[in-house]
Structure 1
C-alpha cells in the first residue's frame, strides 16, 4: 500500500482507500468505547477529525520506528480534546496497544489522558489550551529552517479555536519567515460547545488566512479520496497553507451527527449499544471494563523525549569594580560570546526571539551577528512564547527575551503549557520590579517570583550584578530544562568583596541553588537578590554606624534555597528579606515557609512592595514606598528594637 508516501503519489489507490475506510470505522468504535467506559470525553469532534488523523499518520513520514528521527514529519493536534480520535488513529496504526488506550482512557495515572500529552508515541505537543497549536507548529518549522531538514509540519485545529487571537499572530509569523513546509488543517464541523460557531462568535476563517498571505484550500474532510487529493495539491504548491476540511460532528452515527451536545458528552450504555449496531461491530465493552480494573501505574509511561545539544561553554568575564553596566548588557554580551563559541559550518543550534524590544533587552548584537538565527516577532508575545517553547524541544537552544510584564505576566498561560511540555526554554526578562522606574506601575513587574513558583519545571535565577549575570547565563544556556533569568533596567554597581575587588570574579562559578554570603555579621542577616543587593550593602553600612553587625546573604535562586547558608543566617537570630517584589509572594514568603517547615522560630521582617507603585526614578520610588536603604534601616531598627546610638 502507500504508507509513508508523504502524499507524493498523485492519488490514493483503491487498496489503500478501502484499508483506511475500514480503519476509520473501527476507530469510531474505539472512540465511542473509550469515552463510554470513562463516562466523559469528546467523541463528536474526534469522529469528525478521524479521517484527518488517519490520513496524516498513515501517509506522512511518521512511524513507531521513527519517533526520534529528526527528519520525521511532525503533526501537532491543537484541539487536544479530540484525544480519543488521536489515540484511536495512532493505536490502530501500531504506535501503541490500542486496547490499552481504550481501557485506560482518562484513568488516573494512565498515559492516555483527557487531552493529548507528549509522552504518547506520535504526539509532538501537549495541547488542550486552544489556539496555541499553530504557534507550536511554527516552532517545529523553524527547526526545519535552522537544521535544513526537508520535512513537513502539519497542524490540525478545530474551527471554534479560530476565534483565538494567537492564531493571527502565528499566521503572520509563518508568512514573514516563509515557513513553506507548514500546513494547517481545520476540522470545520461548524459546532462548538455553545452551538454553531457563527452564532457563538462570527468569523471569516477563509478570509482571515487569505488576508495574512496564506494559501487556502477546501475539501471534504470525511472523504479519504478528496482529503488526500487536497493535501497532495497543498504540498505541491507549498506553504504556509491551510486546508478547510468540511466535516460532520459525530460523523458515522446517525443520532450523533450535527448534534453539538456530543462535543463533550459521552454516550450512555444504551446509546453505545445502538451505535455499535449501526457500525456493525461486536460489543466488547465488558472486556475493556475488566481490563481497566487491572491497570498498573508506571511513571515510565509518562516520560517524554527531549533533545538538547552539548555546547562549548566559553570562559566567563569579570567586569572591574568601577564598571558602569546593567545586568541586561551582561546578558547580551554572554549570549553573543556563547553563540560565537558554538557556531559551526553546519548550523548554529541557537535561536533568539524578540518582540520589538531588541535594543532594550540587549539581543541586538546577536541579531546583527547571526541574522538567520534571530526571529523578530513584533508585538506578538503569546505566539512567540509558544514558538520558542516548541522549538526548545528539538535540540536547539531557544531564548525568549522580553520585559517582565510581557515575558511572564502576559504570557503566563503559554509558559505554563511550555512547562507541561517539559520544554528547554530560556526566558530572559529585563525591566523587572520598581527598578523600571519612570515607566510606572503598568510596566513594573513585581510578581514574577510568585507566578514562577507555580510552574514546577522552571528554575529561576535573579543575579546581583553583571558578573553574576554573565556567569549565570552561561550555565543556564548550557543546561537542559526551563530557566528564567530576571534582571532590572538600571545600571547596577558591581558587587565587591570587602577589599574592593569584584565578588563574582574569575574564580567564581555559578551553581544553581547555592547562595553567597557577601558579608558576615552576627546581629542579624539581610537576605536579598538582584538590584536590591547593592542597596542591602548600603543598609549594612548604615547599621554598622550604629554598632549593628549585619550579614548580607545573596539568594539568586529563590526556588531552590541553599539550606546551609540560610541556617547560618538564622544563627544571627534575626532575619530580614529585602526585595523589589510583591511582599506577599516573593522570597520573603519562601523564607517564611522554610522557617515554619523546619520549626525555626525567629523574628522575620519582610521588606517588599506592598501595592502598585509610582512613576519616577527607582531611587525616588523606593524612598517613597519605604524601601530606600535609609528607610529600610529605620524599619529594621524599629522592628527588632535595636537601640539607636
Structure 2
C-alpha cells in the first residue's frame, strides 16, 4: 500500500473542521488537551486521507491525551457520531474518554501513560512483519514523551529486528505539560533516534504538501523511521496559537472558556459550500478503517505431558516444555523474554523454533507493552521474566494491557522465597496481590509441574490476560495414595475449581503454588481430620467446594509462598464474610517481612511454610478443638 495523492483543499477543510469539533468537545467538557490536539491535526489529517482510510493499517496515538484530535478525525470520517463526541466527550458513561480509547472505532490501543503506546505499536509492527502482511504500523508521540525510558527500549528493539514497517510521528511543538521542552528537560530528538538506528526525517507539520512528501519518503525507508513534525501548540486557534509560538504550556491541558472560545468557533466554522464540498468528498470515499480485533480462536494445545513420581522438576521447566509443544503446533505462539531465556526456560522453544522467540534485552516494560500490541495483531505472546521484574517494573504496562483487554500470557518465574539465595531485591512477595487487583487479568499459581503443563496449555487457548506465578526450586510431583500423579489422567484444569487432595472434617487447608507439596506432606499425618484443597486461583478459593468444606470444619489454614498480609487470605476474607462463613480458628502462613539470602529449604523453614512448620500450625489449631 502506498500513500495516495490527495486534494489539498479538501485536506485543509478536513483539518479545519476537525479543529472545530475538537474544540467544541473540550469546551463543552471544560476539560481536555486542546493544545497538542491542534498541533497534530494537520499531519494526522494527511495521514488518514492519503493512506489509512484505504489500508486500514494500524495507528497508535501514544500521547493519548490528544484524544480530541483523534476522535475528531474519526468523527469527520463518519466512523463515529460527531455530535455524540462533542456532547459527551469526557462524560460519565461515554466511550469518548479523556485519553484514547481502543473501543472507539479506529483506535487500535488505549493510551495515556506516556511511552507505553509506542511500545505496543512496535509490537503490532513486529506482528505484521512476522505474519508477512506487508503492512506498516504508525505511532504518534509527543516530544516530551520521548523522555520516557521505554521509548529507548522500543528504539533498541526496532533497530535490532530492523522493523522497517514502523513509522513514528513526533509532534515536535517543543512544549510539554508544565513548560517548554527546553526548560523542562532538553533532549536532542534527532541525535537520540539516530543513535537508536532510526532514519530521522524532519518536516513542517502544518504544510500538507510537505507532509505528504515526507510520508512518501518514509515509505521507502529500509529502516524504522521517525518524522519530527515541526509544529506549534494550538496551531489554527486565535486563542491558543500565540502562546504556542512562545513555547508557553498554557493550553496543554486547559480548556478555553466558552466566551474565549467564541472567536475560534467563528474562525473555524466552515461555510455552507465548504461543508457541502467536504461532505460530498467523504461520502465518496471507500473507508476501510476497522479496529475490531479478531483473536486467534483455534489453538491446538496438543497432548499433556505427564511427569511421574520419579521426576524431580521445577515448574519453570514444565512451562518451557509446554511452550515448546504449543509453539511447534501453532505459529501464533510467540515468546518474549528480557535477557533471562535460560532462567525462565523460554530457551526450550528458542532452540526448537528460533523465529518464534524474541529477546528484548533488559527492557521489561517494553516487553509487556509490546506483548499487548502483538496480541492485538493476531499473535499469542508469552512474556516471561522474574516475578519481581514483571510486577514491579512492568506493572504499569500490564495495567494498560488490562484496560485494553489484550491477550497476553505473562509467566513469571523465581517467585517468592523459592528464589532462594538472590535475596530480598529479587524475592517477589507481593506479585500475587499486585496482579490480582487488575480487573481483566487472571492470576494462576500451579501446584506442580503437571498442573503447570495443564495451565500453560489452558491459557494458550483461552482469550484474555493471564499472570502465571512459578517458583524456582525443584520438588516432586503431587501424587495420590497410589503414587499416581494427581494432575494427570482425566484431570482438566478449570480456574473455578479447586482440587481436593485429602478429605477431613476438622480443619480446611488451602494452598497453591510451590507450598502445595509441603502442605500435602504435612497433612498426610492428619487423615480424616484435615481437608486439603489446592486452589491455584482466587476464584477456585471462592468455590462451592471450599465454602462447603469451611461450613463443615469452621477452621481455616492458608499457606502461600507470598506476603501473608497481601496474599490469597486477604482477597478471600471479604468473600467469606459476605457468605456468612464463620471461622472459629484461622491462620495464614506466609512471609511476614523481607528475607535475606538463603537456600529455599532454609527460608521455607524459617517462615514455617515447610512440612514441619505447617505440621506445627495444624497441631496448634487442632489442639484448640
Query: Does the pair score TM above 0.5?
Result: yes
3-state DSSP of counterpart to 1:438: coil
Q: Structure 2: how far apart are the matches of 1:612 and 1:206?
A: 44
Q: Structure 1: how far apart are the matches of 2:75 and 2:445?
A: 45
Call closer, same or farther: CA 1:500–1:539 in 2, change over 3 Å.
Answer: same
Q: Within 5 Å, give how 1:53-92 maps onto structure 2.
A: 53-62=44-53, 72-92=56-76
Q: Does 1:260 align with 2:242?
A: no
Q: Partner of 1:332 in structure 2?
A: 320
Q: Partner of 1:540 in structure 2?
A: 523
Match of 1:360 among 314, 330, 343: 343
| Residues 436-481 of structure 1: per-residue CA shift (max 9 Å, x gap) | 0111111110112111122111112111111111111111111111
> What TM-score do the two structures reach when normalised by structure 2?
0.93
Q: Does 1:633 align with 2:622?
A: no
> Could you tell me whether the CA contact under 8 Å between 1:309 and 1:395 is conserved in 2?
no
Call closer, same or farther: CA 1:629–1:642 in 2, change over 3 Å.
Answer: farther
Q: Partner of 1:578 in structure 2?
A: 559
Q: Does 1:601 align with 2:589?
A: no
Q: Partner of 1:307 in structure 2?
A: 295
3-state DSSP of counterpart to 2:56: coil
Match of 1:591 among 543, 565, 572: 572
3-state DSSP of counterpart to 2:420: helix
Q: Within 5 Å, give how 1:470-485 maps onto structure 2.
A: 470-485=453-468
Tell me the CA shift for residue 633 of structure 1. 2.6
Tell me the CA shift for residue 98 of structure 1. 1.6
Q: Structure 1: how far apart are the matches of 2:146 and 2:613?
A: 53
Q: Aligned Cα RMSD in Å?
A: 1.8
Q: Does 1:37 align with 2:18?
A: no
Q: Structure 2: how far apart are the matches of 1:411 and 1:640?
A: 43
Q: Does 1:414 align with 2:405?
A: no
Q: Does 1:27 align with 2:18?
A: yes
| Residues 235-289 of structure 1: per-residue CA shift (max 9 Å, x gap) | 1223301000000111112331114111111111110112223335589xxxxxx
Q: Does 1:274 align with 2:263?
A: yes
Q: Partner of 2:287 in structure 1?
A: none
Q: Structure 1: how far apart are the matches of 2:418 and 2:539?
A: 21
3-state DSSP of counterpart to 1:237: coil
Q: Within 5 Å, give how 1:303-452 maps onto structure 2.
A: 305-342=293-330, 348-452=331-435
Match of 1:6 among 2, 12, 16: 2
3-state DSSP of counterpart to 1:192: coil
Q: Partner of 1:550 in structure 2?
A: 530
Q: Structure 2: how far apart are the matches of 1:267 and 1:18?
A: 28
Tell me the CA shift for residue 427 of structure 1. 0.6
Q: Structure 2: how far apart are the matches of 1:497 and 1:87?
A: 59
Aligned length: 600
Match of 2:97 among 113, 119, 124: 113
Call closer, same or farther: CA 1:435–1:330 in 2, change over 3 Å.
Answer: same
> Could you tell me whether the CA contact under 8 Å between 2:519 and 2:610 is conserved in 1?
no
Q: Structure 2: how far apart are the matches of 1:62 and 1:512?
A: 42
| Residues 553-607 of structure 1: per-residue CA shift (max 9 Å, x gap) | 1001124535221123211121100111111111111222221111111122111
Q: Structure 2: how far apart are the matches of 1:304 and 1:105?
A: 21
Q: Structure 1: how far apart are the matches of 2:357 and 2:298?
A: 20
> Could you tell me whether the CA contact under 8 Å between 1:402 and 1:429 is conserved in 2?
yes
> Could you tell me whether the CA contact under 8 Å between 1:520 and 1:550 is conserved in 2?
yes
> Could you tell me whether the CA contact under 8 Å between 1:516 and 1:554 is conserved in 2?
yes
Gap regions ≥5 residues in structure 1: 64-70, 284-302, 343-347
Deviates more, 1:409-418 or 1:502-511: 502-511
Q: Partner of 2:179 in structure 1?
A: 195
Q: Structure 1: how far apart are the matches of 2:11 and 2:540?
A: 52
Q: Structure 2: how far apart are the matches of 1:62 and 1:542?
A: 69
Tell me the CA shift for residue 310 of structure 1. 0.9
